[in-house]
Amino acid sequence: SSICDASPGAVREALSRLTSEGLVVSVPQRGFMVAPMSTKDLLDLTEVRIDIEIKCLRRSIEYGDLAWEARIQSARHQLRHTPVSIANAKGVHPERSRAHIESHDTLISACNSEWWLKLRNQMFMQAERYRRMLYTYAKMTRDIDAEHEAIVDATLARDADLACKLLAAHAQETANDLVASVAPLDAQR
């Protein structure tokens, strides 16, 4: 048994899953390490993520029902009323991170394709990896809460073109803010 009281089989399974999701890489003769990050990768990821996410959002708007709309309103309420940061601490409040993810997940949850959702979730988690790592360095002057509100409003109005345009801009601007914080990203190499 290891220090964490996890069986070697469980650790191997976890590393295998993290490797398949692109969060960890296997290094021959050395073991495993966190997957490298780069500006080029972030920009490529963002482009692919936007394409997939707006496809999922468009399908959700088409197929979403009243219960889906209620979940969106609930996620909006949670995000609105969750503090952004912990007093006297760097970084995002863990509950805010959870509410942020839930808000984005709920918007696309009525997409009727499991494969599109799986692809979207993989891209979203990769983007979250960048966002969380660089958040304390990012030079963000945007009103991100207003961006979320506008996306939700357009989605609930069933204006797929506007909702997708706003979601794409939101994801791209986040990537742009992170690229503006490139020093910490390039320093980790």
- DSSP, collapsed to helix, strand or coil, labels residue 31 as strand
What pLDDT score does 16 carry? 66
What pLDDT score does 36 carry? 64
pTM: 0.78
What pLDDT score does 70 carry? 98
Closest CA to 136 of 177, 76, 165, 75: 177
What's the CA dihedral at 4, 96, 185, 26 to 10 degrees?
30
Tell me how far apart the alpha carbons of residues 156 and 72 are, in angstroms, rounded to a whole number. 8
- DSSP, collapsed to helix, strand or coil, labels residue 66 as helix
What pLDDT score does 2 carry? 46
Given a cut of 50, the residues of the chain with pLDDT beneath it are 1-2, 189
Structure tokens at 69: 């709309």
Strand partners, 25: 33
